[in-house]
């Protein structure tokens, strides 16, 4: 070939691996030729430098994409890790996001958001929109989706979706979370938009509606308007209850709109029910117990098949006391004439008679027992009544005869309609 300058050589747009290139050595002392294949192979063949100097083999043809300043790579192996990704890393689809990362197949970024997001899995969709400058979402699963409002959320599972900011779905199957600042670890569970600051886990076939500030853990649960509550168990219903709890199996808190339960709950057991408008009441253990509507300060403990009867009362089947049993003593003081004895105040009463006295017993409960201690000089008890009605108080021989200048003790029992008084006379100091 005649001597020619490079500028005089023919221009071509094609070359094969056997094409020759002419090069000088590093000291510019010798000139040699090398094939393109040899230049681009081997451990020392790549040219180091910035992007304008880099050589990337196995590039895709132009048909794979034409985005400016973008290199399309068929296969890329990184030995030693990626030190920093400052702009875009996207495995498939159109590169139109900033800081997005997708691994898998069928994943899509459909929202207008331009904040960083990560999708790993199959057929997942990020539809979030950049409305408030929050970062994106992390999706790990199959057929999961982040709706437009799910900024800064985590979705992990199968056929699960979120439309809530700062929320999480972890190991969720067919779950839906639209509650901000909440976390769900569940299967087949739904959380509404008004259940902020809640934690839901392990549920199957349940729902969590308008239940903020709550922890709900277990299976097949249903919660509606369960605010600031705690629920743990299976097949539980907790509706319209504030500051309550429901633990066990098939227990129900059945508040209603306008008749909310406050500070009430069920601790253990099965088949127990607290009805509507019940405040500061509990069922502890047992089964099939009921606290009726509009009850206050009621406890049913260690019982089965019972319905509470009285407010401000503990109801149980059996009591065993390992040590002492004590009662409050009501010191009535000086009495005379017609007096009311409020039997709801206690079990033991003391009186000092200063005149003839006729007691009227009120606020009795069926099965109550009492001790009345009467200190007397010379006065009499001409009779006694229940709720102002005579003929329902019984004593031996039909009379009450307290000792003079001594103490008399009466032991009383109320059977629901009648009171029986057993009189013990002449107690004096020894």
HEC readout, 275-293: CCCCECCEEECCECCEECC
**Which of the pair, 92 or 351, is modelled with greater confidence?**
351
Q: Are residues 6 and 32 located together in one domain of the fold?
A: yes
Extended beta strands in 198-324, E state:
199-209, 215-219, 222-227, 230-234, 237-242, 245-249, 252-254, 261-262, 265-270, 273-274, 282-284, 290-291, 298-301, 313-316
Whether 338 shows a pLDDT value over 70: the answer reads yes
**Residue 299 lies inside a defined structural domain of this protein:** no
**Who wins on pLDDT, 343 or 118?**
343
Domain end (from 178, 212, 246): 178
Whole-number pLDDT of residue 90? 47
Q: Are 90 and 67 within one domain?
A: no
CA dist 127 and 109 (Å) reads 6
Contact criterion met (CB below 8 Å) for 162 and 177: yes
Question: Would you say residue 133 has pLDDT above 60?
Answer: no
CATH number, domain at 410? 2.60.120
Domain membership of residue 390 as a residue range: 329-427
Q: How many CB atoms lie within 10 A of CB 319?
A: 9
Q: Whole-angstrom Cα distance, residue 232 to residue 265? A: 12
Among 62-66, 165-169, 260-264, the range scoring the smallest mean pLDDT is 62-66
Domain assignment of residue 353, yes or no: yes
Q: Which residue has the higher pLDDT, 183 or 344?
A: 344
For 127, 163, 164, 250, the CA distances from 147, given in Å and listed in that order, are 5, 5, 8, 34
Q: Is residue 290 situated within a structural domain?
A: no
DSSP for residue 39: H
Q: Is 62 exposed, middle or buried (0-12, 13-18, 19+ CB in 10 A)?
A: exposed
54 and 111 co-located in one domain: no
Residue 182, classified by CB atoms within 10 Å of its CB into exposed (0-12), middle (13-18) or buried (19+), is buried
Structure-derived torsion over alpha carbons of residues 364, 421, 369, 328, reported in degrees to the nearest 10: 90
* Residue 172 scores a pLDDT above 50: yes
Count of beta carbons in the 10 Å neighbourhood of residue 321: 7
**CA dist 171 to 3, 103, 114, 186, 288, Å?**
73, 18, 26, 7, 34
Greater model confidence, 197 or 371: 371
Handedness of CA 12, 13, 15, 19 (dihedral sign): positive
| DSSP 8-class letter at 258 | T
Burial of 291 (0-12, 13-18, 19+ CB in 10 A): buried
Residues 111 and 169 occupy one common structural domain: yes
Question: Are 51 and 135 part of one and the same domain?
Answer: no
Q: Are residues 29 and 53 in the same domain?
A: yes
More confident call, 281 vs 214: 281
**Is 393 within a domain?**
yes
The predicted structure's pLDDT at residue 115: 63
Note the pLDDT of residue 173: 81
Q: Which of 156, 178, 200 marks a domain boundary? A: 178
44-80 pLDDT, tens per residue? Answer: 444 444 444 444 444 445 555 566 666 665 555 555 5
Q: What pLDDT is attached to residue 9?
A: 73
Question: What is the structure's pLDDT at 148?
Answer: 79
Q: Where does a domain end: 121, 151, 178?
A: 178
Q: Where on the phi/psi map is residue 277: left (φ > 0), alpha (ψ -120 to 50), or beta?
A: left
What's the CA gap between 126 and 422, in Å, rounded? 82
Looking at the structure of the chain, the number of domains it has is 3
Q: In this structure, is residue 57 part of a structural domain?
A: yes
Determine, yes or no, domain membership for 234: no
71 with 90, same domain?
Answer: no
Domain assignment present for residue 305? The answer is no
Confidence of residue 146 (pLDDT cuts 50, 70, 90): confident
Whole-angstrom Cα distance, residue 109 to residue 352? 88
Within-domain flag for 240: no
Query: Same domain for 96 and 167?
Result: yes
Asked if residue 106 and residue 50 are part of one domain, the reply reads no
Count the alpha carbons within 13 Å of 43 in the hemisphere toward its beta carbon. Answer: 1
**In terms of domains, do 28 and 90 share one?**
no
Rounded to an integer, the average pLDDT of 314-332 is: 95
Whether residue 412 is found in the same domain as residue 344: yes
Q: Are residues 418 and 335 in the same domain?
A: yes
User: What is the pLDDT averaged over residues 112-135?
Assistant: 74
């Amino acid at each position: 070939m005649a001597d020619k300058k490079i500028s005089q050589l023919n221009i071509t747009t094609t070359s094969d691996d056997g094409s020759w290139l002419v090069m000088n050595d590093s000291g510019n002392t010798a000139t040699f030729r090398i094939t393109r294949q040899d230049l681009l192979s081997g451990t020392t063949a790549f040219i180091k430098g910035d992007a304008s100097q880099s050589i990337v083999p196995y590039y895709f043809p132009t048909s794979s994409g034409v985005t400016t300043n973008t290199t399309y790579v068929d296969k890329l192996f990184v030995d030693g890790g990626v030190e920093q990704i400052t702009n875009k890393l996207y495995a498939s689809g159109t590169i139109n996001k900033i800081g997005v990362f997708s691994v898998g197949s069928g994943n899509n970024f459909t929202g207008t958001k331009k904040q960083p997001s990560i999708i790993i899995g199959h057929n997942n969709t990020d539809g979030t929109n950049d409305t408030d400058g929050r970062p994106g979402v992390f999706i790990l699963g199959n057929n999961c989706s982040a709706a437009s409002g799910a900024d800064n959320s985590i979705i992990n599972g199968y056929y699960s979706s979120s439309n809530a900011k700062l929320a999480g779905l972890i190991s969720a199957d067919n779950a839906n979370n639209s509650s901000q600042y909440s976390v769900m670890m569940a299967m087949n569970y739904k959380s509404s938009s008004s259940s902020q600051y809640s934690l839901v886990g392990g549920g199957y076939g349940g729902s969590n509606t308008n239940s903020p500030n709550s922890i709900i853990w277990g299976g097949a649960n249903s919660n509606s308007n369960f605010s600031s509550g705690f629920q743990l168990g299976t097949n539980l219903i907790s509706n319209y209850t504030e500051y309550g709890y429901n633990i066990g199996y098939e227990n129900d808190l059945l508040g209603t709109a306008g008749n909310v339960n406050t500070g009430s709950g069920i601790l253990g057991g099965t088949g127990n029910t607290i009805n509507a408008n019940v405040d500061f009441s509990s069922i502890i253990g047992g089964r099939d117990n009921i606290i009726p509507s509009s009850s206050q300060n009621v406890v049913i403990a260690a019982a089965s098949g019972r319905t509470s009867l009285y407010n401000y009362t503990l109801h149980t089947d059996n009591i065993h006391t390992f040590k002492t049993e004590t009662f409050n003593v009501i010191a009535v003081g000086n009495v005379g004439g017609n007096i009311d004895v409020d039997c709801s105040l206690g079990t033991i009463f003391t009186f000092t008679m200063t005149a003839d006295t006729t007691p009227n017993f009120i606020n009795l409960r069926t099965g109550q027992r009492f001790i009345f201690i009467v200190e007397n000089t010379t006065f009499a008890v001409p009779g006694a009544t229940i709720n102002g009605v005579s003929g329902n108080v019984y004593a031996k021989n039909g009379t009450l005869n307290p000792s003079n200048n001594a103490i008399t003790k009466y032991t009383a029992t109320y059977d629901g309609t009648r009171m029986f008084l057993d009189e013990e006379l002449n107690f004096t100091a020894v």
